[in-house]
Structure 1
Amino acid sequence: MAAGPLELWSHQSMQILVLLSFGLQLVLFVFAGVRRREALVPRLLLWLAYIMADSTAVYAVGHMSFSSAVRPVREHQLVAFWAPFLLLHLGGPDNITAYAFQDNQLWLRHLQILVVQVLGAAYVLYKHIAFTGGGKNGDLLRIASFLMFALGVVKYSERTWALRCSTLESIRASMKTQPPAIHNHFHPQDRATEEEFHLRRGHSLFHICKFTIVDSSVLELEEDSIYRPEVYTSKFIQGIELWTLMEIQLSLLYDLLYTKAAVVHTFFGYLVRVVSPLTVTTSLLLFQFTSKDGHSTTDVTITYVLLGGAVFMETTSLLNALASSWMFAFLSATRWPWLRYIALCNERWDRLRRTVVWLHHLVKGDRYKSRRWSYTIG
């Protein structure tokens, strides 16, 4: 009986590892919100997925590099195409980068792993795809491989940078350079719902919460600064239950410490979100037009699963980022007034947000449940 599993692993180890890595990414992508709550069993399962996701992808890249060194055969070309997807998996979903706060302190370790894994994936592509010929079909697969490799490197680097930005030292340093998301222009849509009103006010006052968490003082601001709390705080807290405001700000703090929020909601972050689904879709089309002769049906199916899953997750991440309340904060603080006018004053962003919130409501139920404090932050 033991020979069966061993033989399966001997012949299909890479297929098993890649599918396991993809499955763990789906678990993290869908269930990362469980981390906000106190449910013990779901959080334990999420922790296991978080730990296994990195270990599986790292082992798979190493296993693939070793296999390519000892068995450089042409039929492994399609398997080598999976290496960039493992980098993409190591980049992780946007809604979870750290499970514990201490994970952020280990960003240098992640940087070292990033360098090793990128070199390993590059070696696999060099060995099996870069100079293997194959005519037009080989060219299409090469282009798709290089596109996915570039995307994987960017997404993995982004995760490492997000871990760094979530340390208290980085948050303290950012307070000196990032303007608060003060929303000085009130629109009827601000009061579309009570939760939306509180959420936008929470973003406008969030920099005070950040000053507190890094043990700094808002009094360090210049005397004539418009960002000093006494200048505008009374205006923003009118009609707001302070406990509700605190709950929302603690939820925003969770985003800052445990997700990619600090990196995603920047100009570069939004640019990556827009380019990512286009890149994966282009790779999918290139692979569609590539000849499948000489490749097993199983490997072709797995490749389609990886590409289709990547399109789904990257597109969903784009919509979530553009419709997030963090986008409102970005638009409120942007140095481009024309962008603020087009997106906020003309209500274009609000229509997009309402649409995405409606879709979330259909899929997950109450959209705003996670925006209230779950009585735990660690």
Structure 2
Amino acid sequence: MALMARTAAGRIHRTLALVTGDCSEIVREEVVRGGRPNSRLIARAQQLWNEWEVQCLVLVSFWLQTFLLFAAGFRKHRRSRVLSGLLWLAYLSADSVAIYVLGRLTLHTGDPRHQLVIFWAPFLLLHLGGQETIAAFSMEDCALWKRHLLNLATQSTLAIYVVGKQWRGDMRLMAPMLIMFVCGVGKYAERAWDLRRAGSRAPGSRSIAGHVTGARREFEREVFWYYDRLNQILSDKLQLNFELVMEVATRGFQLSLDFLMDVIPAKSLRPETDWNEGLVARIKSSENRADLVYRLAEVQLSLIYDYLYTKFGGFLGVLHRPTTFVLTSIALSSFRIVLADQNQKGTPTPTSSYYGTDVIISYILLAGAFALEISSILMWFTSSYWPYMTIASLQNRRRHKAFQTMLLIIARRLGRESRVEWSGKLPQYNMIGACIREKQAGTWDKMMLCIGIERDYTTQVVVSPEVKMVLLDRLLEIATSTSSAAEDLDFGTFRGQWARNGVHWPCFSGCEEAAHPPGRSSEDHPPSSGSAAQEALGNSAIQDLDFVSSAILWHFVTDICLEASPADDHHANSCSSRMRRASEEFSNYIMYLVVKCSIMLGSDGHYGVKVARRDVTLFLGMVVDRTEFIQKVRDGDLALNLKEFPALHRAHRVSSELLKIKAHNRWKLIALVWVEMLCYVAHNCGAGFHAKHLSTGGEFVTHVKMLLFILGFPLRGHTKEQLFPSEEIEERKFFKSSHPWRRG
């Protein structure tokens, strides 16, 4: 019985040792029993981990913060799954590691040699505050601001408890500790505030309703100044003046943010007077029109990204960053003075037996915090436009004139005017090409597809200046066309009205540039061109089909026309060549949005995509390659019975009419169809889609929506009758005529 009792007691003792992490007894027993070397090695490793666990994890926490600070800025202008994955892991791990280490400090044994471990508690609060370049990884994180506020209270209390219970070191170290505690609490509070600020504008937020009235008043107060300033820049031919562009972008930040997030009420977008008369005409006549509007859109979206995802997008950080920098430098100096004084005296103190490793880690944390604060301030100037936002907010305050001048000088020195603020990429998805590659897929790809892992057949192309110009010119033509009624600018439905109106334009048979290559005679426009275009639009049922069906049909039509008119048949600099390239890229981009991003897809849309892919796959079984596929559809091969494939049969009918039209008119018509589709998607895909993709390199369709705002399209559209009429029409007229902010 005694033997059994001793055995049971030994087992209980070993279990408790494993639970508490005390492996010394286990090590001694293994040695006595002559345990195997592997067992002794594992036990020794466990013992070392128990002794140095906090030190290792504190350094891990610091390196995670360093990675987040310097890597997060790249996601604004990089489309990289690897980068997104690493940032996601670091963002989630950083908080978990810091909270875990802070909890482990409560179990600290109070060893005098490791008293500096307690000194690290405030640094964990600093790490929980996060970095300026990434307050939120996604918009969903903004909804968790209350959780971070609760963590701020609990973790701050825990840090105070750890220090108060176990501090046995030199009391002179309490000063730098308190300074870092203040910095940590302030930084964590700033993070919670920034998340709350961005979350209040997040789609689906309960506070959106509260912003609507303020957004409407802000719009009616600032909209006249915004477009008048653009008019003035164009009149004075100052489109390339970066600081004037920044002035318009920063002053119009709130307008662009509310428009992108769908906060402005529709009736606010319908002034009853032609307040921006001549603006579109001036943009159209400007040689540098693309440089102005696209740069302005890019800057405005960069400001919105910083507002939603970083700590740069708020004026609280303008004061907090310098304050934290100063306090951190004071704490570093105090810590250095204390240790230097102890080394000179050589008197036995509780800190005279500190491990050198703990001292080194303390210096790393202090110097690292100092370096990160400097880096965040520099990155505020070099990678953000918010210094200009701060300057704009101080313009009417004489007390801060010196501070404003200093900020402007630094921003001019450090800021890069020509930097690209998004990926500049246009994802491409071609349905026929994707189905061909799926058909040619190997056994491994087919096995992966069976378990739901599909290979991505999307490619990327750079958005060229020519493609941007085609989009802008088509929009300007629509805005200045006398045949375009207000109802045609209503993006509530897609009816192909722009293409139907474009057939009747006088410029339909002309082009902005020479439509014929040098050395070729200019032939008269065929008399049947207009009727052929109308017949093609009628065959496509563009006015009656739903959007997804129209997109799929015109995607096939564009591929057929591309195959029928190779690129080498066009002069390299001709207008038709630019529109041909733009139509191809817009076609593949719209299909990427529909098929890969599920934009504008309801149950009917999903069904349409499924049937279209099935028909293409079946048709591929009867042809050899892509070229033969398109030729058979274009020629309407009777042997293949196209009527069994409705989308392909209708594409044959539409393309047959389009191929009767002169090349530059054909591509102008196709480009108009895709431009209207792109604008329809930009306006209706939802604020959540735009906000989400700002943090993944950006989407061109988001820039299109901002382009519509800059050109004033939402203010030109048709307005429906309002149940609640505007009470501020007279006030709006007052702002137009006499508001002082309207003056440039």
Normalised to the residue count of structure 2, the TM-score between the two structures is 0.42
CA RMSD of aligned residues (A): 3.7
Q: How many residues align?
A: 351
Where does residue 334 of structure 1 map in the other structure? 394
* 1:323-377 C-alpha deviation (Å, 9 max, x unpaired): 7521222221237521564355xx543321133237xxxxxxx972236766732
Where does residue 203 of structure 1 map in the other structure? 250
Verify: 1:63 aligned to 2:121, yes or no: no
Q: Which amino acid is 2:373 matched to?
A: E
Q: Which amino acid is 2:252 matched to?
A: L
Given that 2:122 and 2:180 are in contact with CA atoms closer than 8 Å, whether structure 1 keeps it comes out as: yes
Verify: 1:141 aligned to 2:173, yes or no: yes
- Provide the rounded CA distance (Å) in 2 between the counterparts of 1:13 and 1:204: 51
1:273 alignment partner, one of 308, 318, 321:
321
Given that 1:97 and 1:159 are in contact with CA atoms closer than 8 Å, whether structure 2 keeps it comes out as: yes
- Provide the rounded CA distance (Å) in 2 between the counterparts of 1:298 and 1:229: 72
Q: Which amino acid is 1:20 matched to?
A: V
Where does residue 107 of structure 1 map in the other structure? 145
Change (3 A) 1:53 1:193: farther
Where does residue 742 of structure 2 map in the other structure? none
Given that 1:180 and 1:207 are in contact with CA atoms closer than 8 Å, whether structure 2 keeps it comes out as: no
Given that 1:171 and 1:214 are in contact with CA atoms closer than 8 Å, whether structure 2 keeps it comes out as: no
- Provide the rounded CA distance (Å) in 1 between the counterparts of 2:72 and 2:357: 30
Where does residue 373 of structure 2 map in the other structure? 314
Superposition pairs of residues 1-378 of structure 1, within 5 angstroms: 1-36=41-76, 37-65=78-106, 67-68=107-108, 71-129=109-167, 132=168, 138-167=170-199, 168=201, 169=205, 176=214, 197-217=244-264, 241-263=292-314, 266=315, 268-290=316-338, 291=342, 292-321=351-380, 324-334=384-394, 336-339=396-399, 341-343=401-403, 347-357=405-415, 368-370=419-421, 376-377=693-694
Q: Which amino acid is 2:198 matched to?
A: S
- Provide the rounded CA distance (Å) in 1 between the counterparts of 2:141 and 2:190: 15
- Provide the rounded CA distance (Å) in 2 between the counterparts of 1:73 and 1:232: 78
Offset of 1:80 from its aligned partner? 0.7
State the SS of the aligned residue for 2:352: coil
Offset of 1:109 from its aligned partner? 1.5
Given that 1:172 and 1:214 are in contact with CA atoms closer than 8 Å, whether structure 2 keeps it comes out as: no
Change (3 A) 1:220 1:44: same
Offset of 1:202 from its aligned partner? 2.1
**RCO greater where, 1 or 2, for CA within 8 Å and sep 6 or more?**
1
Change (3 A) 1:145 1:348: closer
Change (3 A) 1:232 1:149: farther
- Provide the rounded CA distance (Å) in 1 between the counterparts of 2:45 and 2:278: 64
- Provide the rounded CA distance (Å) in 1 between the counterparts of 2:176 and 2:54: 20
- Provide the rounded CA distance (Å) in 2 between the counterparts of 1:13 and 1:233: 69
Offset of 1:47 from its aligned partner? 1.4
Offset of 1:218 from its aligned partner? 6.6
Given that 2:94 and 2:128 are in contact with CA atoms closer than 8 Å, whether structure 1 keeps it comes out as: yes
Q: Which amino acid is 1:50 matched to?
A: Y
- Provide the rounded CA distance (Å) in 2 between the counterparts of 1:331 and 1:171: 28
State the SS of the aligned residue for 2:694: coil
Change (3 A) 1:122 1:272: same
Change (3 A) 1:327 1:305: same
Given that 1:76 and 1:128 are in contact with CA atoms closer than 8 Å, whether structure 2 keeps it comes out as: no
State the SS of the aligned residue for 1:369: coil
Offset of 1:57 from its aligned partner? 0.6
Change (3 A) 1:53 1:194: farther
Amino-acid identity (%): 32
- Provide the rounded CA distance (Å) in 2 between the counterparts of 1:73 and 1:233: 78
Given that 2:246 and 2:388 are in contact with CA atoms closer than 8 Å, whether structure 1 keeps it comes out as: no
- Bigger mean CA deviation after superposition, 20-29 or 289-298: 289-298
- Provide the rounded CA distance (Å) in 1 between the counterparts of 2:241 and 2:420: 13
- Provide the rounded CA distance (Å) in 1 between the counterparts of 2:323 and 2:66: 21
More helix by share: 1
Unaligned 5+ segments in structure 1 are 359-365
* 1:109-143 C-alpha deviation (Å, 9 max, x unpaired): 222222221111111121233xx4x6xxx232001
State the SS of the aligned residue for 1:370: coil
- Provide the rounded CA distance (Å) in 2 between the counterparts of 1:172 and 1:352: 39
- Provide the rounded CA distance (Å) in 1 between the counterparts of 2:386 and 2:277: 20
Offset of 1:255 from its aligned partner? 1.1
- Provide the rounded CA distance (Å) in 2 between the counterparts of 1:229 and 1:297: 74
Change (3 A) 1:374 1:211: farther
Runs of 4+ in 1 over 4 A off after TM superposition: 169-175, 177-184, 191-197, 218-221, 228-240, 371-375
* Largest Rg, 1 or 2: 2
- Provide the rounded CA distance (Å) in 1 between the counterparts of 2:275 and 2:324: 42
